[in-house]
């Protein structure tokens, strides 16, 4: 039986809850469709509240930012639509008055768009922030029976209701900006919206708790990438920088708020946007003017219905306008940043000079510039396109091309000054710095573009003369050496032969005549002993003189004739001549040989001399033998 009663009780509770939910839904729908509503005011605290006699419920007159005021109160009114238990509504016009039974009309959907700027927010931003506050704050019904300090649930609802109202006033009066940052009115000598509740109010701590929770929820919903702005006009301007390695413009940004992954990026200028972790990378192949990059996401919010008298004023004579929670919606949230890629351009320059004479600048050349499409530093006819030519300036030999966009290029000499050899190479150059000057050269030491002169006829003649002189000298030296050697050998042989013959003949004749005469005279006049001594002395002197004179003369004139002088008559015995004559002849012949060094080096010359000496010795020996034999015969 007890179990059945519990089941029945739960069923009744469920039915009541469903009925209340349906009534609220119908009430919201009715408010959405209705054109007018009545307002009911409930003053807090109620007479049966445990803190009813606490004097800290009310507040004095408040002066907010932007000229808004709120009248003095000793209580805190809660507002509802069409009933004391109806849907809670919030004041958005602090200066107005509102009493139970006042009728308000539904305001158009663009109500907030018509609101004036409040020094921080325009009307649309005020609506957006209020929608986020309604979504995070209290959006139920007022309950005058339970909203008491001794009722925990009722106290929590009441505290959350007033926290929501205070934040809405902060938005309206200009104490919150588009990032939901708090602006302290005390710095201007004014009151903050939170001063509506005294710190000694019995529900202050609970209200402050919900104030913090709602504020945090709205701040998180509005959190943007750290480098972006909530309003386009507030967006910072950032340049993309040219990356010489990647040949593109690039900007890399880190989001310190760690929300970048919740946003989708877009651009109207063809800028590529990539997100990785907390890094946003923007790239572009070309420079571009200022453009806006937007990033969007959706956040949970609330629609709302505005009820008012059609007059939005800071005068106390008008009725307060109020807003009621409509429904939960997704609110688009957009962040902005402005970027541009500045045009990077530089100048290509070169100075053209003679290779051997650098001071001689050359005019009349032409240099063609090609775009190095893949940046490999090599010319590829099927890829690389002609960009232009580098013209010669007014200064002779100086060439310059300005305003060349950032990128990789190849430069080639396509027209060469007359009389000079063309340089067929392609020279790579990259422009990476705005306003930079990039010099092109084929000579590192001079930093100039040099050309050498072409080979001419004078060069050929010079080379021919040099070759001829070299050949002539070589031939002359060779011929001279050959002739000298041949002449020396011939002269030596002739001299040797002449000297030998002359000496032999002269010596033989002189010796024979002298010996014969000496022998005959000595045989008649003296004895064998005296004859021998006399013959020896005479022969020695006569033979020595005759041989010496004859040999010397013959050697002195070897190329013409042999001069032979007869040896003077002498009675000197021939025995002495056997020992002196050969030595005299050998010494004389050796000394008289012109070109001695050549001869000594020629083995044939030595053989001729030996044969000549042998012949002389043989003749002398035979002659002496005959003379001695004949003398002995006569003596006998």
DSSP 3-state of 569: coil
Determine contact, residues 81/161, Cβ cutoff 8 Å. no
Determine contact, residues 287/341, Cβ cutoff 8 Å. yes
Q: Which helix (H) or strand (E) holds 315?
A: none
pLDDT, tens digit (0-9, with 9 covering 90-100), for 396-415: 999 999 999 999 999 999 99
Q: Assign 7 a pLDDT band (cuts: 50, 70, 90).
A: low
Q: SS in 3 state form for 254-289?
A: ECCCCCHHHCEEEECCCCEEEEECCEEEEEECCCEE
Res 444: pLDDT: 87
CB neighbours of residue 134 within 10 Å: 24
Distance, in Å, from the CA atom of 428 to the CA atom of 401, rounded to the nearest integer, reads 15
Is residue 564 scored above 50 in pLDDT? Answer: no
The partner residues of 350 in beta bridges, in order of sequence, read: 399
Is residue 246 scored above 70 in pLDDT? Answer: yes
Is residue 552 scored above 60 in pLDDT? Answer: no
Res 527: pLDDT: 32
71's CB contacts (< 8 A; 6+ apart) are 61, 97, 316
Is residue 600 scored above 70 in pLDDT? Answer: no
Q: Assign 540 a pLDDT band (cuts: 50, 70, 90).
A: very low
Burial class (CB in 10 A: 0-12, 13-18, 19+), 341: buried
pLDDT, tens digit (0-9, with 9 covering 90-100), for 133-179: 999 999 999 999 999 999 999 999 999 999 999 999 999 999 999 99
- Cα angle value 585/586/588 (rounded, 5°): 65
Determine contact, residues 630/594, Cβ cutoff 8 Å. no
Which residue matches tokens 């007018």?
36
Q: Where is average pLDDT lowest: 91-105, 134-148, 170-184, 615-629? A: 615-629
Q: Where is average pLDDT lowest: 55-69, 122-136, 553-567? A: 553-567
Percent of the chain scoring above 90 in pLDDT? 60
pLDDT, tens digit (0-9, with 9 covering 90-100), for 21-70: 444 444 444 444 579 999 999 999 999 999 999 999 999 999 999 999 99
190 or 593, greater pLDDT: 190
Is residue 372 scored above 70 in pLDDT? Answer: yes
CB-based contacts of 122-130 (< 8 A; 24+ apart in sequence): 125/178, 125/231, 126/171, 126/172, 127/304, 128/301, 128/331, 129/171, 129/176, 129/178, 129/180, 129/218, 129/222, 130/92, 130/168, 130/171, 130/304, 130/323
Q: Where is average pLDDT lowest: 269-278, 346-355, 529-538? A: 529-538
Q: Assign 317 a pLDDT band (cuts: 50, 70, 90).
A: confident
Q: SS in 3 state form for 513-540?
A: HHHHHHHHHHHHHCCHHHHHHHHHHHHH
What values do phi and psi take at 288, rounded to 5? -155, 160
Burial class (CB in 10 A: 0-12, 13-18, 19+), 522: buried
Distance, in Å, from the CA atom of 205 to the CA atom of 197, rounded to the nearest integer, reads 10
Res 446: pLDDT: 87
Res 199: pLDDT: 95
Average pLDDT on 531-552 reads 36
493 or 46, greater pLDDT: 46
Determine contact, residues 32/25, Cβ cutoff 8 Å. no
Is residue 539 scored above 70 in pLDDT? Answer: no
Res 597: pLDDT: 36
Average pLDDT on 196-212 reads 97
The strand pair at 62-63 and 69-70 is best described as antiparallel
DSSP-H helix ranges across 137-239:
152-173, 204-221
Determine contact, residues 128/331, Cβ cutoff 8 Å. yes
Is residue 497 scored above 80 in pLDDT? Answer: no
Res 621: pLDDT: 66
54's CB contacts (< 8 A; 6+ apart) are 45, 201, 202
CB neighbours of residue 339 within 10 Å: 23
Kindly tell me the number of DSSP H helices and DSSP E strands found in the chain: 9, 22
CB neighbours of residue 566 within 10 Å: 14
Query: What's the whole-number average pLDDT of the chain?
Result: 77
Stated pTM of the model: 0.61
579's CB contacts (< 8 A; 6+ apart) are none
Q: Where is average pLDDT lowest: 16-20, 155-159, 297-301, 496-500? A: 496-500
């Amino acid at each position: 039986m007890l179990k059945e009663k519990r089941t029945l009780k739960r069923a009744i509770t469920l039915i009541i809850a469903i009925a209340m939910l349906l009534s609220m839904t119908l009430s919201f729908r009715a408010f959405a469709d209705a054109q007018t509503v009545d307002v009911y005011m409930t003053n807090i605290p109620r007479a049966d509240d445990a803190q009813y006699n606490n004097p800290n419920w009310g507040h004095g007159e408040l002066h907010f930012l932007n000229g808004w005021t709120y009248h003095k109160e000793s209580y805190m009114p809660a507002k509802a639509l069409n009933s004391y238990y109806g849907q809670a509504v919030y004041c958005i016009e602090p200066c107005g008055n509102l009493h139970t039974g006042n009728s308000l009309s539904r305001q158009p959907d663009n109500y907030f768009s018509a609101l004036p700027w409040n020094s921080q927010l325009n009307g649309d931003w005020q609506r957006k922030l209020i929608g986020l506050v309604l979504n995070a704050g209290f959006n139920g019904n007022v309950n005058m029976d339970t909203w008491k300090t001794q009722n925990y649930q009722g106290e929590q609802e009441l505290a959350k209701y007033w926290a929501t109202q205070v934040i809405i006033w902060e938005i309206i009066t200009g104490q919150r900006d588009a990032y939901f940052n708090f602006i302290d009115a005390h710095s201007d000598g004014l009151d903050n919206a939170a001063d509506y509740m005294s710190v000694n109010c019995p529900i202050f701590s609970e209200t402050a708790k919900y104030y913090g929770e709602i504020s945090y929820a709205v701040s998180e919903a509005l959190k943007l990438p750290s480098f972006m702005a909530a309003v386009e006009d507030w967006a910072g301007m950032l340049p993309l920088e040219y990356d010489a390695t990647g040949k593109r413009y690039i900007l890399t940004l880190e989001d310190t708020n760690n929300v970048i992954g919740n946003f989708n990026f877009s651009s109207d200028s063809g800028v590529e946007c990539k997100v990785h972790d907390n890094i946003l990378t923007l790239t572009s192949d070309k420079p571009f003017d200022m453009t806006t990059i937007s990033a969007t996401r959706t956040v949970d919010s609330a629609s709302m219905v505005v009820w008012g008298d059609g007059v939005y004023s800071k005068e106390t004579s008008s009725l307060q306008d109020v807003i009621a929670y409509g429904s939960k919606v997704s609110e688009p949230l957009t962040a902005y940043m402005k970027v541009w890629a500045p045009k990077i351009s530089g100048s290509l320059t070169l100075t053209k000079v003679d290779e051997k004479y650098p001071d001689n600048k050359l005019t009349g050349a032409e240099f063609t510039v090609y775009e190095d499409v893949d940046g490999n530093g090599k010319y590829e006819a099927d890829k690389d396109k002609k960009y232009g030519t580098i013209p010669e300036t007014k200064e002779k030999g100086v060439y310059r091309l300005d305003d060349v966009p950032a990128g990789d290029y190849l430069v080639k000499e396509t027209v060469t000054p007359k009389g000079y050899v063309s340089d067929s190479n392609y020279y790579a150059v990259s422009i990476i710095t705005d306003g930079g000057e990039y010099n092109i050269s084929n000579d590192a030491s001079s930093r100039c573009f040099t050309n050498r002169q072409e080979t001419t006829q004078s060069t050929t003649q010079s080379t021919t003369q040099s070759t001829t002189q070299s050949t002539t000298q070589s031939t002359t030296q060779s011929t001279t050496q050959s002739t000298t050697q041949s002449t020396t050998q011939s002269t030596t042989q002739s001299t040797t032969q002449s000297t030998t013959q002359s000496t032999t003949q002269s010596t033989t004749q002189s010796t024979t005549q002298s010996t014969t005469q000496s022998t005959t005279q000595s045989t008649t006049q003296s004895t064998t002993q005296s004859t021998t001594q006399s013959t020896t002395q005479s022969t020695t002197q006569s033979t020595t003189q005759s041989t010496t004179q004859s040999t010397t003369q013959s050697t002195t004139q070897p190329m013409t004739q042999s001069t032979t002088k007869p040896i003077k008559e002498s009675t000197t015995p021939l025995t002495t001549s056997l020992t002196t004559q050969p030595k005299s002849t050998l010494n004389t012949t050796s000394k008289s040989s012109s070109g001695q060094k050549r001869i000594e080096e020629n083995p044939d010359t030595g053989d001729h001399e030996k044969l000549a000496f042998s012949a002389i010795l043989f003749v002398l020996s035979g002659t002496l033998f005959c003379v001695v034999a004949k003398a002995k015969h006569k003596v006998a």
